Structure 1
């Protein structure tokens, strides 16, 4: 269903706002989203814009009380979208765009509630004793977005596709956790399981630009990277279930993170010294490879 001929000027303006947010802030995801046909590209931009808002609430400098209130208001926004009561004249462009997307595509808005649950875990300072505990968090903040995306993409087997998308989200979030290890530590957050930190002697944390004294830091990163690799291998089984352009979008986004994981695994201590990333030209190459049917 084409979005442009059927959407009013206010709705299209709302979508353009979401596209601008995506282009400006989705450093990795925007490369894949650009490969989608317009209706799906607009829908994915609306999903990303709300997800970005939720993340920004969690990562911002506001008080915990104010963050909690803003998350509550976001849940109310989702209730309006579910009820179909969002007016195209609403002053919140993300709400307007998401309302239109929900009418056009069978997205499960419960994924956003899970994302908010994950951000609330951060606000409470939840620590993860085991990998199974961490998986719950990862599925809330990343797997949820994968499952939401399936509604926009379309899928030959929606149930199986949602499972693979959830696992792919786990792979991406594990990669994020490794990339942001020191940044998170400086902000008082530790995501890696407590039992793994103890196993590799890393209980001291990662506030310094070098590994903890006496720790097997390289072993810790290798262990976590292998988990992420396994999740990538399983999650990428989603690709054959998608149409060509949706497959290209997913392959591009996953490919960028997969390459990032490879960089981290090859040089574990780099995550303590800088934010590991890929140059723009390489991200573009991975995206074009996805469009051509390759995987990077």
Structure 2
């Protein structure tokens, strides 16, 4: 495992990083290569002030690495190797980079449609990358995209205050207007607005879960764990919407580990029961 890439991943996503500790080593190495690439671009557009010139320079370096030149950048080198080996569609990479570039100039999303367009590049293609890393069948594609979308949307809900500091609003303005919300203050309208957003996230999540049947047992445990931790975050916010105004809601590592243990037992029992009674099995 490249320590530089691992540290980038660890800094960027505590929940997902801890969940992926339970992938087989080779899979986790590939996931780390992916998330280090994603994180370095995301960090450039999320910094204050934004590091615009560095973003465009790094994108040029990626293009050179992709075209066969050795840039000496470990993150780019490892990602391009992964992209070639796992046959990533280059359009997916461009969609991701375009979404990151959008963060350099677009601040407010007025409709759900606008937000969904952004999430294709910022999140759904990440699900497609993961689908390739895990060698899932083509039939898993819509569910992989939906899982990426659901997690990203929950991030928008959880990070609404942080995004305000960055001058951004990803949750649709049309929804704020519907509930009479004019700012991030703990009003009844704000509570209803946030609960509405959580319900939308849960709809995305339920659709994504339909794709679990395509995921082998050895990969399903960490994915279910990450998904359940996001769901826990969403339900916590639904119960107390104004919590997002004062702190970032995140599960502790102990909770993540306990979820892994529960899912390990659950997947094992389902496999055993299925073999006994002839039910379809998770692979």
TM-score, structure 2 as length reference: 0.86
RMSD over aligned Cα atoms = 2.0
The answer to whether the Cα contact below 8 Å between 2:48 and 2:166 also exists between their aligned partners in 1 is: no
The answer to whether the Cα contact below 8 Å between 2:123 and 2:149 also exists between their aligned partners in 1 is: yes
**Correspondent of 2:140 among 137, 157, 161:** 161
Which residue in the other structure is 2:99 paired with? 118
The answer to whether the Cα contact below 8 Å between 1:86 and 1:96 also exists between their aligned partners in 2 is: no
Which residue in the other structure is 2:276 paired with? none
Does 1:205 pair with 2:186?
Answer: no
Q: Distance in 1 between matches of 2:266 and 2:84?
A: 30
- Which runs of structure 2 are paired with 1:127-146 in the superposition (5 Å)? 127-146=108-127
Does 1:46 pair with 2:33?
Answer: yes
Query: Residues 86, 16 of structure 1: CA spacing in aligned structure 2 closer, same or farther, 3 A cutoff?
Result: farther
Give ranges in structure 1 of 5+ residues lacking alignment. 1-11
Q: Distance in 2 between matches of 1:42 and 1:168?
A: 21
- Which runs of structure 2 are paired with 1:1-296 in the superposition (5 Å)? 15-63=2-50, 66-67=51-52, 69-83=53-67, 85=68, 87=70, 91-155=72-136, 157-158=137-138, 160-202=139-181, 204-206=182-184, 210-212=185-187, 216-293=189-266
Query: Residues 174, 31 of structure 1: CA spacing in aligned structure 2 closer, same or farther, 3 A cutoff?
Result: same
1:8-41: CA deviations, max 9, x gaps? xxxx6xx332123223432111122212222211
> C-alpha displacement at 1:135, in angstroms?
1.1
2:87 is paired with a residue whose SS is coil
2:14 is paired with a residue whose SS is coil
Q: Distance in 1 between matches of 2:83 and 2:153?
A: 29
The answer to whether the Cα contact below 8 Å between 2:19 and 2:256 also exists between their aligned partners in 1 is: no
> C-alpha displacement at 1:72, in angstroms?
2.8
Give ranges in structure 2 of 5+ residues lacking alignment. 268-283
1:231-290: CA deviations, max 9, x gaps? 000012222112222222221221111111111111111111211111111122223333
2:103 is paired with a residue whose SS is helix
> C-alpha displacement at 1:195, in angstroms?
1.0
1:151-176: CA deviations, max 9, x gaps? 10111x22x32211111111111111
Equivalent pairs counted in the alignment come to: 267
